[in-house]
Amino acid sequence: MGVTSRGFAVLFLAGFAAQPAFAYKIFVSNEKSNDVTVLDGDTLEVIDTFEVGQRPRGITVANDGNHLLVAVGDDDTVEVYDTETYERLHTLPSGPDPELFVLHPSGNPLYIANEDDNLVTVVDLENRSMIAEIPVGVEPEGMGVSPDGSVIVNTSETTNMAHFIDTESHEIVANVLVDQRPRFAEFKSDGSEVWVSSEIGGTVSVIDPATHEIKHKIEFDIPGLRPEAIQPVGVRITEDMETAFVALGPANRVAVVDPETYEVLDYLLVGQRVWQLGFSPDESLLFSTNGVSNDISVIDVEDREVTKSVQVGEFPWGVVTTPD
Amino acid sequence: MKRILSVLITTFAASISASAQEADNITIGYLHPAERLQTLSLLDRPTEDLGISGARLGLDDNNTTGQFTGQVYTLETAPVSGAADAEAAVQQVADAGAGWIVADLEAEALLAVADAAAARDMLVLNTGAPDDALRGEMCRANVIHVAPSRAMLADALAQYLAWKKWPRWFLLKGSHPEDEAFAQALGRAADRFGGRIVEERIYEDTGGARTTDSGHIQVQQRMPVFTQGAPDHDVVLVADENEVFGTYVPYHTWDPRPVMGTAGLEPTVWSPAHEQWAGIQVQNRFVDGYGRRMQAEDMLAWMAVRMIGEAATRTNSAEPEAIRSYLLGPDFTLAAFKGEALSLRDWDLQLRQPILLADDKTVVSVSPQEGFLHPTSFLDTLGYDRAESECEL
């Protein structure tokens, strides 16, 4: 009986300990404090912080949620961490000064923007080798991938272009001139549009990937705020294409946009200098990284309301969650 | 073997002519001083490539973009030792195909260049002369001022002093006309932003070498005496553009006060220490390419070359007329690592821009300061506004 009950207790404990693995985790890269903050997706509380390389910015989850990829620009590499143990497993040959990257929808390869070298580097995650280097415009930054994985879009901040790159040939197939300092590229889930934010231009260009034409430019106007303070960076569009969100930098707001009509529906007040955005796995919540106020804001996607802010590390930059 | 070679040569020649047909050539003239002023500090001695390397980096950046637009940019440089050289220098770069001129020159030479360029229908981008008169009563329709004016620099400093609540300024000025001009700009800034110049003192330039072996010994005796007995003041301002004494003022004042102006904390378009708003990226490119840190002259040249590149990209044209109307039109903006778009004031063709306040180690602040409001652009709180301008284009 004693043995059985102890066995039961062990089983119970093991089951209990494994419980948090079912909840998703939120990872936030902190550009200045050189660490990653881990939050629990259920409680939205900080459960851990672990040190990474110098100047972590781009962050994503790979290998079915088991690997966390962090671009550490000042160390000229992309680090790969175990999402359970936070152990650094290995690094990737990213090319110099990686800032942002995007994962192919199939989970491999990784497309990395190298800011200082005017290159996009393609890296195979399995054998950790560089597949290709693609010359692009000056100061490449934003990286988007079409849902079918056939095209990636890189934005170059000083050339002011969105470069459309064929993922088979690694050739640029089109260059679309957008407004000043394009920062981010996000495809709609049906692949019909890619949205490119221009930080200094203050706009989001909606580009048709078939014709490479700009269909529309979304502009922002916040009463009482000078237009120069409205600097779009991160963009996220829900899978159902019902709602889009645009982080507006020093305007300290996230714009809610109707992806159908491009109408700006609302401006949600978040923390200071909002950089990037990331959804929870079921897209019920959106997290914004607020660079100057050192916190993330939690936005209820359906209610379009900021429900909470959570202190993280210094200068939070990127945010990603593990899958459910 | 011979045949193969000739086939190869033919193919090569064909591919060159094809690309020559497709590519638009955009040649930019860059005029720089034949000699630059000696500085008091060894650390600030101008390198041979000062300014030119900034222009070259701008050219490289334009050419990277040019790969996608079919535009090829080249730079033609020429030294100018004074106004008398202007005509020949403009002719030289024009003969080499330049359609635009970037001029890092003082006012008199700049005006001579502007006249020579006007006769050839060329636009001049001024990166060297800060004179307000060039943007005022002496303004020219073919001169764009990339360099900030003295009034903009003085206003940038004055806003910071107002924000710090340090309103009492003790002004030390050199004896050259440029020093007087900057002193006047500081006086104007005091009136605009609630400062007060408690006393002005002139430091006469009596000539002599910039470098001697006696070092600090005389300086330590002279500077305290020079600054002795001033009315109560919060800061010491220095107007010494020709570097006669300004470098020696910090730490040598009679009263322990911070020093600002052309020495100490300087209002400037660029600092080798500026890294925010992605400034680190252009700094990295510059150091990689030219083996030294990027100075204000380099950044001004970079901006001027990028302005032409930006206009050529947006208009998809290499035609001077198209580029000119884009630059002078309402759609022109430039991103230059200052956190917001730079644009042109249509009343005097001055580039609107934030001004850094930097010492030799770091960027201390950036003006316009929070709270100085303007109905159209906060950047227009710096320098001569539309209503004040005497420029008639």
Read off the pLDDT of residues B146-172 as tens digits, 9 standing for 90 and up.
Answer: 999 999 999 999 999 999 999 999 999
- For chain A positions 208-237, those within 8 Å of chain B (CB to CB) are 226, 228, 231
Q: Choose the closest CB to A137 out of B68, B278, B314.
A: B68
Q: What CATH number corresponds to the domain at position A102?
A: 2.130.10.10
User: CA-to-CA distance for A44 and A40, rounded, in angstroms?
Assistant: 5
Chain A closest CA to B340's CA: distance in Å?
6
User: CA-to-CA distance for A109 and A88, rounded, in angstroms?
Assistant: 19
Judge whether A157 is closer than 8 Å to chain B, CB to CB.
Answer: yes
Judge whether B377 is closer than 8 Å to chain A, CB to CB.
Answer: yes
pLDDT digits (tens, 9 = 90+) for A251-273: 999 999 999 999 999 999 999 99
Q: Is the pLDDT of residue B9 over 50?
A: no
Q: Is the pLDDT of residue B12 over 70?
A: no
Averaged over A81-108, what is the pLDDT? Answer: 95
Q: How far is CA B387 from the centre of its chain?
A: 24
Predicted confidence at residue A11, as pLDDT, reads 45
Q: How many domains does chain B have?
A: 2
Q: Is the pLDDT of residue B208 over 90?
A: no
Domain coverage including residue B68: 20-148+271-353
Which residue out of A118, A136, A138 would a mutagenesis test of the B interface target, given it has the greatest number of B Cβ atoms within 10 Å?
A138
B158, B225: one domain: yes
Predicted confidence at residue B13, as pLDDT, reads 37
Q: Amino acid identity of A5?
A: S
Averaged over A95-100, what is the pLDDT? Answer: 92
Judge whether B68 is closer than 8 Å to chain A, CB to CB.
Answer: yes
User: CA-to-CA distance for B293 and B291, rounded, in angstroms?
Assistant: 7
Judge whether B120 is closer than 8 Å to chain A, CB to CB.
Answer: no
Q: What is the mean pLDDT of chain A?
A: 93
Residues whose CB is less than 8 angstroms from the CB of residue B224 and which lie 6 or more positions away in sequence, other chains included:
B252, B253, B254
B183, B131: one domain: no
Which residue out of B56, B275, B281 would a mutagenesis test of the A interface target, given it has the greatest number of A Cβ atoms within 10 Å?
B281
| A240 inside domain | no
Q: Choose the closest CB to B378 out of A160, A181, A226.
A: A226
Hey, which bits of B211-265 come out as E strands? Answer: 235-239, 259-261
Predicted confidence at residue B211, as pLDDT, reads 66
B210, B348: one domain: no
Express as a percent the part of chain A with pLDDT over 90: 90
In which element (H, E) is residue B185 found?
helix B177-193
Query: Is A180 within 8 Å of B335 when comparing Cβ atoms?
Result: yes
Q: Choose the closest CB to B335 out of A158, A172, A250.
A: A158
Q: What CATH number corresponds to the domain at position B169?
A: 3.40.50.2300
B205, B93: one domain: no
Which residue out of A200, A212, A272 would a mutagenesis test of the B interface target, given it has the greatest number of B Cβ atoms within 10 Å?
A200
Q: Is the pLDDT of residue A35 over 90?
A: yes
Q: Is the pLDDT of residue B279 over 50?
A: yes
Task: Write phi, then psi, for B95 (nearest 5 degrees).
Answer: -60, -30
Q: Is the pLDDT of residue B8 over 80?
A: no
Q: Is the pLDDT of residue B191 over 50?
A: yes
Question: Bridge partners of A315?
Answer: none
Q: How far is CA B387 from CA B137, B145, B146, B383, B384, in A?
A: 14, 18, 21, 11, 8
| A156 inside domain | no
More confident residue, B219 or B327: B327
Which residue out of A54, A119, A159, A248 would a mutagenesis test of the B interface target, given it has the greatest number of B Cβ atoms within 10 Å?
A159
Express as a percent the part of chain B with pLDDT over 70: 93
Q: How many CB pairs under 8 A join A and B?
A: 62
Predicted confidence at residue B217, as pLDDT, reads 78
Q: Is the pLDDT of residue B10 over 60?
A: no
B308, B333: one domain: yes
B142, B285: one domain: yes
| A78 inside domain | yes
Predicted confidence at residue A12, as pLDDT, reads 46
Q: Is the pLDDT of residue A43 over 70?
A: yes
Averaged over B314-318, what is the pLDDT? Answer: 96
Considering B209, B244, B268, which residue would you say is the last residue of a domain?
A: B268
Judge whether A138 is closer than 8 Å to chain B, CB to CB.
Answer: yes
Q: Choose the closest CB to A118 out of B64, B306, B335.
A: B64
Averaged over A80-86, what is the pLDDT? Answer: 97
Judge whether A158 is closer than 8 Å to chain B, CB to CB.
Answer: yes
Q: Is the pLDDT of residue A113 over 90?
A: yes
In which element (H, E) is residue B230 found?
none
| B180 inside domain | yes
Predicted confidence at residue B14, as pLDDT, reads 36
Q: What is the mean pLDDT of chain B?
A: 93
Q: Greatest CA separation found in chain A?
A: 75
| B358 inside domain | no
Which residue out of B57, B59, B62, B68 would a mutagenesis test of the A interface target, given it has the greatest number of A Cβ atoms within 10 Å?
B68
pLDDT digits (tens, 9 = 90+) for A174-227: 999 999 999 999 999 999 999 999 999 999 999 999 999 999 999 999 998 988
pLDDT digits (tens, 9 = 90+) for A3-27: 444 444 444 444 444 444 568 999 9
Chain A closest CA to B92's CA: distance in Å?
30
Q: Is the pLDDT of residue B17 over 60?
A: no
Q: How far is CA A147 from CA A150, A163, A165, A166, B391, in A?
A: 8, 17, 14, 13, 55
Q: Choose the closest CB to B313 out of A163, A177, A201.
A: A177
| A181 inside domain | no
Predicted confidence at residue A9, as pLDDT, reads 45
Q: How many domains does chain A have?
A: 1
B75, B92: one domain: yes
Predicted confidence at residue B115, as pLDDT, reads 97
Predicted confidence at residue B356, as pLDDT, reads 98
Task: Write phi, then psi, for B322 (nearest 5 degrees).
Answer: -65, -40
| A243 inside domain | no
Closest to B174 in 3D by CA, of B265, B274, B222, B241: B241
B141, B176: one domain: no
By CA distance, what is A164's nearest residue in B?
B68
Predicted confidence at residue B23, as pLDDT, reads 83
B295, B216: one domain: no
Judge whether B334 is closer than 8 Å to chain A, CB to CB.
Answer: yes
- Under DSSP, the state recorded for A160 is T
Q: Choose the closest CB to A138 out of B61, B339, B377.
A: B61
| B79 inside domain | yes
Predicted confidence at residue A22, as pLDDT, reads 65
| B288 inside domain | yes
Q: Find chain A residues with C-beta within 8 A of B367's C-beta.
A: none
Query: Is B69 within 8 Å of A175 when comparing Cβ atoms?
Result: yes
Q: What is the 3-state composition of chain B as percent helix, strand, coil, each rounded to the nearest 5?
A: 40, 20, 40
Q: Which residue has the tokens 């800060």?
A: B130
User: CA-to-CA distance for B307 and B70, rounded, in angstroms?
Assistant: 17
pLDDT digits (tens, 9 = 90+) for B23-64: 899 999 999 999 998 888 889 999 999 999 999 999 999 999
Confidence band, pLDDT 50/70/90 cuts, at residue B117: very high
B64, B108: one domain: yes
Predicted confidence at residue A324, as pLDDT, reads 83
Considering B240, B268, B296, which residue would you say is the last residue of a domain?
A: B268
| A166 inside domain | no
Q: Choose the closest CB to A159 out of B64, B285, B334.
A: B64
Domain coverage including residue A125: 26-135
B127, B166: one domain: no
Q: Is the pLDDT of residue B333 over 50?
A: yes
Q: Is the pLDDT of residue B216 over 80?
A: no
| A40 inside domain | yes
pLDDT digits (tens, 9 = 90+) for A266-316: 999 999 999 999 999 999 999 999 999 999 999 999 999 999 999 999 999
B174, B241: one domain: yes
Cβ atoms of B79 and B90 within 8 Å: the answer is: no
Q: How far is CA B237 from the centre of its chain?
A: 21
Query: Is A159 within 8 Å of B65 when comparing Cβ atoms?
Result: yes
Query: Is B335 within 8 Å of A200 when comparing Cβ atoms?
Result: yes
By CA distance, what is A74's nearest residue in B?
B280
